[in-house]
Amino acid sequence: MKNTDTWNFAHSYCGRLWWKIGLFMSAGTIFAMLPFIGKDRETTGLWSSAIMMIQCAILLISIYPVERELRKNFDKTGKRI
């Protein structure tokens, strides 16, 4: 948030990263939920909640690659290297 350039770069990079992660997680979620077709609501809900927590953690971890790319492309004052 140092300036508009760093802000736009971070959002663009994070958006592309989240698309890739999202495609991977979608496929994983489908396969993880297949065994629960026809199971009771409590079991399915519990498993779904666990999957969502894992997905949230993965999306939060994506902060680190974005910060790393910001450090590679900008100096401490927010100017492009």
Kindly state whether residue 21 falls inside one of the protein's structural domains: yes
Task: Report the Cα–Cα distance between both ends of the chain, in Å, rounded.
Answer: 17
The reported pLDDT for the residue numbered 1 is 78
Number of domains in the chain: 1
Choose between 2 and 52: higher pLDDT. 52
Structure token digits, residue 14? 């994070």
pLDDT for residue 2 is more than 90: no
Q: Is residue 8 part of a domain?
A: yes
Query: Does position 43 have pLDDT exceeding 90, yes or no?
Result: yes
User: Does any domain span residue 78?
Assistant: no
Residue 56: inside a domain: yes
Residue 62 resides in a domain: yes
> How confident is the model over 8-31, as pLDDT tens digits?
999 999 999 999 999 999 999 999
Mean pLDDT (whole number) for 32-53: 95
* C-beta pairs of 60-69 under 8 Å, 24+ apart in sequence: 62/14, 62/17, 62/18, 62/21, 65/13, 65/17, 66/10, 66/13, 66/14, 66/17, 69/9, 69/10, 69/13
Band of pLDDT at residue 37, cut at 50, 70 and 90? very high
Assess if residue 81 is contained within a domain: no
Q: Which domain holds residue 21?
A: 4-73
- Whether 80 maps to a domain, the answer reads no
Residue corresponding to tokens 């495609």: 23
Residue carrying the six token digits 């450090």: 71
* Average pLDDT value for the chain: 95
Q: Is residue 48 part of a domain?
A: yes
